[in-house]
Structure 1
Amino acid sequence: MKILVIQQKRIGDVLTSTIISNNLKIQYPESQIDFMCYTNSIDVLIGNPNIDTIIPLSNKVRKSYIPLFKFIFEIRAKKYDIVIDVYNKLETNLITLFTGAKTKIAYHKWYTSLFYTHNLKRFDNNTKPKYGFAIDNRLLLLEPLKLDSTKIDPYPKLFLSPEENKEAILLFEKHKINPNKKVIMISLLGSEKNKTYPLEYMAQVVEEVAKDRDVVILFNYFESQIEDAKFIYNLCSTSTKEKIHFDLYGKDLKSFITIMNQCSLIIGNDGGAINMAKALNKPAFTIFSPFVEKNIWATFEDGSKNISVHLNDYKPELLSNVNHDEIKKDHTVLYNQFNPELFFDKIDFFINRNL
């Protein structure tokens, strides 16, 4: 049996959707399972034994009709039996339609019956999430296949080789990281400005993390974000700066994963870094943007190992009866209402519990 899983978009989306391929492989070990994603997310799939082939969909193919239709017919030639389209946008609607697969599964939209044999309605806010809707809705896509529910594993996973772990250990030695100290990763910046906690506030979070703790602190940021990272660093006290190894950071996705695997926990903005840390089984404290729905991406919340905070937890009156687009538009004003002193007690509890 040949199965294709399609998940475009961001790193967190792709990593979360690996639970589909993982569970399929558990129950159909002889099947071939391929995974289609954008090129920027391939690193979170490499090494996953539950994925036989990674199929990258590049921007060049996506943005031009001739390359796209050539790509579609290349996929058709693979003769898949089952396609699970988690992304469910026009480009993947067409890819799925032309595969010729007997079983085609996606989320319900008003037009999707034209493309798919199974159209499943996502859980709504009237339902209490089990693992977080980002997880629950992906597991929902497996229901038409009648898998054994007792064998379902909801946890995304990352896979590193011994050589990759050894490289990270050597990198820590090069940067003179004391192996006897706990290492805390701070996810300084979100994937976009509207998902980034105010820089001045994040500096206060770093101060709280460092206060009265003999720890090593690493920053997660891209090279393109280095000026914002330096701004936060420069706001920190001298004693806190002494605990920060500013130049030790992941310059690409794979290097971040290997570095994160050597850390004890992560604190910071919601996004790919948090999702990757959870997939490495690391405790995570997440700060959500006001416009992001917490019940979707606050996965595996247990009040201990995984904790998150949202403006709505503290000042719900600011968000009540306001639609999503307005919240997104006013994210700066709303973020400024989300002073970190509101949740310092939760950060301290989280660190003390998990270190």
Structure 2
Amino acid sequence: MEFFLKIAIVRLSAMGDIVHSAIVLQFIKNIYPKSEIDWIVEKSMSAILKDNNDIHKIIEVELKKFKKTKKISDLTEQIKIIKSLPKYDYIIDMQGLLKSALITKFMKGDVYGFDKDSVREGIASFFYKHKINMPYDANTIDRNVQVVSKSLNLGITSKDIFEKKPFLFYRNENKIIYDYLSKEKKNIIFVIGSTWPSRNYPKEKFVEIANELKENILVIWGSEEEKKDGEYIEQHSDFATLVPRTDLNTLKALIAQCDLLIGNDTGPTHMAWAMNIPSITIFGPTPISRVYITDINKVVKSPSKVNPYKLNKEDYSIKEIDSYEICSIARELL
């Protein structure tokens, strides 16, 4: 007997967290194929989810706009959007922050989320009717999957995650990216930026990787500072090219065409895992428990110890990673 369920997922940001959350969609649909899944997300991040047929509707909010303007009218507008939503059988807050929990307060239906011991902002659990325990230091993807699995009684296992189908999609991408792809050499994407400087592998060592591998290296960027670092890599390697800045839809398309992605612990790097594209994630001050290590998705970690409960933004140990260690793994994946 098939059940029709209306399910709402609240995961507003950030890029990597949305990627690591979106894997649950295929598992929900496997068990409840007739379900309708709506996803509440920050407008600036919604393109990550677009063109996924497992999503019934993407509801865009702009809480960051209110944070910037501090105008009550902007907040009222967002609350109005949430209040206009239909009643759901399940509302699942995958984010576990006060802002995401507050959104569920204005929604209609039973709310599921992490208990107070399972999230950084324990007060968020006050807003949930059903609370799920999952250690905060557990694998990030496992945490995302299990809060949904336990809410909906899906019984998702690690084996299911390892055998996942690609779950990021694109359409009508900017065709300029195809001008940068090579038919003679392997296409390797470098993701050189992230949210903190200490999470960034040195640009000089990215040059060493490019010059050692001697393949078609495509450097992507998302800020002016990253662009400058990309220009440095391009200027110091005959094999590296700085790609024009793209939107998220076109970025998905570019990653889908590459043979390997090498990058810092950040959203675009995790997109490769989501699309079943070979990748090497470089870790410094963040824990490798953020990702799944597979036959094609590898990690390289600096020697420092990481406390997942209190990350040290002054840990620049990522600089100590030998570029030739990364090259060795890259050759195996290529």
- Determine which structure has more spread, i.e. the larger CA radius of gyration: 1
Which of 328, 331, 334 is the aligned partner of 1:349? 328
Provide structure 1 residue ranges, at least 5 long, that are not aligned to the other structure: none
Contact 1:204 1:340 in 2 (8 A): no
Q: CA deviation at 1:219?
A: 0.6
Q: CA deviation at 1:258?
A: 1.1
* 1:59-92 CA distance string (max 9 Å, x none): 2355544443453344234212211111222222
* 1:37-78 CA distance string (max 9 Å, x none): 112211111100111111111123555444434533442342
| Whole-Å separation in 1 of the counterparts to 2:124 and 2:49 | 28
For residues 57 and 339 of structure 1, do their structure 2 counterparts lie closer, same or farther at Cα, with a shift above 3 Å needed? same
For residues 140 and 353 of structure 1, do their structure 2 counterparts lie closer, same or farther at Cα, with a shift above 3 Å needed? same
For residues 53 and 179 of structure 1, do their structure 2 counterparts lie closer, same or farther at Cα, with a shift above 3 Å needed? same
Q: Does 1:340 align with 2:331?
A: no
Q: Match for 1:293: what amino acid?
A: P
Contact 1:305 1:350 in 2 (8 A): no
Tell me which residue corresponds to 1:159.
Answer: 169
Q: CA deviation at 1:301?
A: 0.7
Q: Match for 1:218: what amino acid?
A: L
Tell me which residue corresponds to 2:220.
Answer: 220
- The 5-angstrom pairing of residues 132-281 of structure 1 reads 133-142=139-148, 143-149=150-156, 153-154=160-161, 155=164, 157-161=167-171, 164=173, 168=175, 171-172=177-178, 174-175=179-180, 177-210=181-214, 215-222=215-222, 224=224, 225-234=226-235, 236=236, 240-241=237-238, 243-246=239-242, 248-281=243-276
Contact 1:301 1:308 in 2 (8 A): yes
Tell me which residue corresponds to 1:88.
Answer: 96
| Whole-Å separation in 1 of the counterparts to 2:82 and 2:263 | 39
| Whole-Å separation in 2 of the counterparts to 1:60 and 1:322 | 29
| Whole-Å separation in 2 of the counterparts to 1:69 and 1:81 | 25
| Whole-Å separation in 1 of the counterparts to 2:158 and 2:190 | 34
For residues 113 and 331 of structure 1, do their structure 2 counterparts lie closer, same or farther at Cα, with a shift above 3 Å needed? closer
| Whole-Å separation in 2 of the counterparts to 1:189 and 1:94 | 31
For residues 30 and 152 of structure 1, do their structure 2 counterparts lie closer, same or farther at Cα, with a shift above 3 Å needed? farther
Contact 1:85 1:106 in 2 (8 A): yes
| Whole-Å separation in 2 of the counterparts to 1:322 and 1:30 | 38
Q: CA deviation at 1:321?
A: 8.8
Q: Secondary structure at the match of 1:202?
A: helix
Q: CA deviation at 1:137?
A: 0.4
| Whole-Å separation in 2 of the counterparts to 1:340 and 1:272 | 23
Q: Match for 2:293: what amino acid?
A: E
Moved more, 51-60 or 150-159: 150-159
| Whole-Å separation in 1 of the counterparts to 2:30 and 2:306 | 43
RMSD, aligned CA: 2.8
| Whole-Å separation in 2 of the counterparts to 1:113 and 1:265 | 40
Q: Secondary structure at the match of 1:205?
A: helix
Moved more, 103-112 or 58-67: 58-67
Q: CA deviation at 1:112?
A: 4.4
TM-score of the pair, normalised by structure 1: 0.79
| Whole-Å separation in 2 of the counterparts to 1:322 and 1:150 | 23
For residues 111 and 42 of structure 1, do their structure 2 counterparts lie closer, same or farther at Cα, with a shift above 3 Å needed? closer
TM-score of the pair, normalised by structure 2: 0.84
For residues 36 and 152 of structure 1, do their structure 2 counterparts lie closer, same or farther at Cα, with a shift above 3 Å needed? farther
Contact 1:6 1:86 in 2 (8 A): yes
Contact 2:204 2:233 in 1 (8 A): yes
Contact 1:19 1:153 in 2 (8 A): no
Tell me which residue corresponds to 2:119.
Answer: none
- The 5-angstrom pairing of residues 279-294 of structure 1 reads 279-290=274-285, 292-294=286-288
* 1:177-224 CA distance string (max 9 Å, x none): 4423221111122233232122223322333332xxxx2111111252
For residues 30 and 339 of structure 1, do their structure 2 counterparts lie closer, same or farther at Cα, with a shift above 3 Å needed? closer
Q: Does 1:40 align with 2:47?
A: no
| Whole-Å separation in 1 of the counterparts to 2:100 and 2:156 | 28
Q: Match for 2:263: what amino acid?
A: G
Q: Secondary structure at the match of 2:106?
A: helix
Tell me which residue corresponds to 2:55.
Answer: 51
| Whole-Å separation in 1 of the counterparts to 2:308 and 2:198 | 17
